Amino acid sequence: MNEYTTFKQISLPRLNNLQPGLESTCLKLMEEAGELAQAIGKFRGMNGEKVDLKEKEVVEMISNELLDVAQVAVSMMFVLEETYGINIKEKVDDHIKKLVKKGYIKVEE
């Protein structure tokens, strides 16, 4: 697959000082997604507030919130693996196949 497209690889930790479950990580994911939307709203001045932040500051804020979303998604992956026996590696393979099938990744024959 690497010959057809690029991959963004990041490595995020298991939060070993929390006992997350499916419900708590799902709620947290929605909370963080809301914070991301709020940051993007600031960027566009869409929330009606006067924007005092420089573009660079807002983009930094958006990046931080996006990583919060990714961290919670990773935390939920640990829950699925450790509590429910899901193999995330297999899920990633299926996910990539789905993206190809949907035409989001073009694979040259």
Residues that contact Mg ion, how many (by CB under 5 A): 4
Place of tokens 């961290």: 71
CB nearer to Mg ion: pick between 32 and 76: 32
Return the residues of window 69-88 that contact Mg ion according to CB under 5 A: none
33 CB-side CA count, 13 A: 7
Reduced 3-state DSSP string for the chain: CCCCCCCCCCCCCCCCCCCCCHHHHHHHHHHHHHHHHHHHHHHHCCCCCCCCCCHHHHHHHHHHHHHHHHHHHHHHHHHHHHHHCCCHHHHHHHHHHHHHHCCCCCCCC
Q: Is 67 in the site for Mg ion (CB under 5 A)?
A: no
Instruction: Pick from 68, 71, 73, 81 the residue near Mg ion by CB under 5 A.
Output: 68
| Residue 28 C-beta: closest distance to Mg ion, Å | 9
CB nearer to Mg ion: pick between 32 and 58: 32
Spell out, one character per residue from 18 to 57, where the chain touches Mg ion: x when CB under 5 A holds, - when not: --------------x--x----------------------
CB nearer to Mg ion: pick between 67 and 100: 67
- Where does this chain bind Mg ion (CB under 5 A)? 32, 35, 65, 68
